[in-house]
Chain A
Amino acid sequence: MLRGLIVRLRRSKMRTRLLLLFTMLTLLPLSVQAMVTYRHFSSTLNDKTKQYTVDIAGQVNANLDRLLKDLERLSLMPLYDEQVLSILAKYDGPMGSGTWALSDDYQKMKLYTSAQAYDRPEIRGIHLLSNSGTLFSNVEPLAVNTSWDGSRDEWFSALDQSDGEWIILPPHHPSYYAGSDPSFYISVARVIKEPRTLRRLGYMLIDVKQGAFGSAFSKLKIEQSTNLMIIDGAQRLLYEQKPDNGQSAYGGLMGSGLLKELHGGERKRLGGTDYLFVSHHSPYSGLSVIGLTPIGAILKESRALMVFALWLALFCLVTVLLLAYAVSYRITLPLVELKSNMSRVERGDFNKRVSPLGGDEFGQLGRGFNRMMDEINRLFHEVLVIGLREKEAELSALQSQINPHFIYNTLESINMMAVQRRNDEVSDMVSALGKLLRYTIDKAGRLVSLGEEMAFVDSYVRIQQIRYGGKLKVHNDIEEEVQHLRIPKLTIQPLVENAIYHGIAGREEGGTIWVSALRFDNELLITVRDDGNGLEEEELAALNREIEKDPSMDSLRRSDEESLGLRNIGQRIKLLYGEGGSLTVDGSPGQGLAVTITITIPESGGEEDV
């Protein structure tokens, strides 16, 4: 699959590849960084939460310690009061045998307990219980029984069995409260003994409202979903601060039996939820504060971060894609332009050039392309111009493109008809015309030998002589050694034609044309001279200028001009030989016109095609 992907990538466009590359380059480090950040952040958060919960548990325990110390001290107070001790001693006897106390004693005890409970709203009541069960309390006499049998309540046995040290009684429901007070109280209690004899005199009971424990948490900022519990050494629940959803975790914790083995800072699974477990033990009170925070709640923040990070990543992705597209578009723009230009070239449009070029490789490529196109254009035009000119020369000889064989056969018929009627002049003219046509149409080669061209000129002259009667005289002076030299086809004949039309036609007395070809050093000089009217100096100069002009499409269009023939030949020679060939016109008024073609003979002797 990966290989297939690579193959597809190879085939894809440059632009797509760049786009992909940029996107990968940007997104890869970005996503790695985001991942690392997220990891780091969430583990830090975890640690922080743990630490914070531990701190809170410690704080809670400290608060509790303060409260309990206070209560412990309170429970010690009767030991320093002789009056209280004596009163308690008065009502000695087996539990449950207690009777009404003396009003005086009662008042004294009431005063004492009330004083102790003064300004302590968390305390429900302070009770002094004699061995026989007589109860002295700061609570209103109507709300509490004055005599009470301790054996009636289960929790009491824990106190009874203790030996003078202070103990905490987990939430319980004391039966000495009159009426139906449903509340549970946590009590700090102590067995009161005669300090000197260590004889048991009674019990001190301080009932604290459960809310007082809750106040230990009240000023602390606690995660709303955290479950905080206070348990005593026997793992009994003293207080539980329930989370917002009101679910108690104590039952589950007890049921799972995990409570004993748990240590602070562990993660535990409980009832389908992961919790961070934190505990703090107070060595003073023997109480432990346990915090259970659902992992989900801790991760809520990091999850928010993740969501944020994802949004950020999405934003980045879109931005990067847009940027990458823009950049790859910008980079590949010259390439795409080059490509579209190439395809135009394939369709034959050589005029397209690559526009604004930078100094980079694309710029160089574009400049190379432009140079190439210039060259192609130049060559193309050269070929086109040469081709058009030759076509033009041929067409000027034969205006219509009738099947040449038909023409030859027709000429032969005319020829033979003339022979039959013994009209030799017609026969000669027709066969010369046939040769003329054959030369212009059939000879495909661009170069012919000078001899061939001269034979053609002779045919042409023969016809013209018949037309002009005896008025046209043509003298040839061709050196033997130049006969074989190769020259462009149809170069001499148009010169002769030009000489006939401009030099001789229209003149009553007729005229003479001299055609000469000779070798001078390494140059071939072909001159066609007439004895016609010639040209004025200015006209001559203008004509030579016209001939000197560079070949162009423009000059081809103006084909109806007088000087076309000469310019045509001159430009063909220039196109074929460059600096090595030229055509000049010379002469003066009344002296006729001499047209000279100069061609540099190649080293090989000019017998090969150029």
Chain B
Amino acid sequence: MDRIIEFDDLLDNPTPRVPVVLCLDCSGSMTGAPIEELNRGVKSFYEEVYADEIARYSAEICIVTFGPVQVETDFQTLDVQPNPPILRASGLTPMGEAVKKSLDVLEERKKKYRDNGVDYYQPWLVLMTDGYPEGGSSQILDEQVARVSQMVQSRKLTVFPIGIGERADMATLQRFSPNRLPLKLQGLKFKEFFAWLSKSVSRVSQSTPGDKVTLDVAGLSGWAEI
């Protein structure tokens, strides 16, 4: 029998989705070891999520970078897009604009889910920076801080703000994290962070939307400065 059946991932994949936006600072200051470690971390994140047969069809990853705000890859399961983009460092740090882009893309995706009867979990936003917002509008930044808090309070978003290195603006990251302290990466332990993130994604993808899933707090010590 001919079993070549075309599947449209959005429509024909019944697995509830975990939308994950990685909003990553790729400004000029990330040049060198940081961007290399970041790329390595993202790659291992992709590999680990792909290796989990449920997360592979559940996690939809979108990567937004700044320097210039850019959607590197729009929401897609790793079954459809198993290869991570290669990130390059350049430009300033328009954090407000990048968060705005991330949430806009997320809204579009959620609308697609709703229109197509696809179940989804509370989306995740991972916001990583090694510096201060720079080169963007402070009004947009304030608007996005308000937007994120509102979404977090109404349980429509989980945020992980993470500082990289000594110069990271933890105060701004704190504004994006109404419920818990922002975390700081130990050195350049991107790989450890993404390993933790993929495990967390796997755990959520094994539950049902709406179920309470507690974060693996103990696992944080593997990559975060406490």
Q: Are chains A and B native binding partners rather than an unrelated pairing? A: no
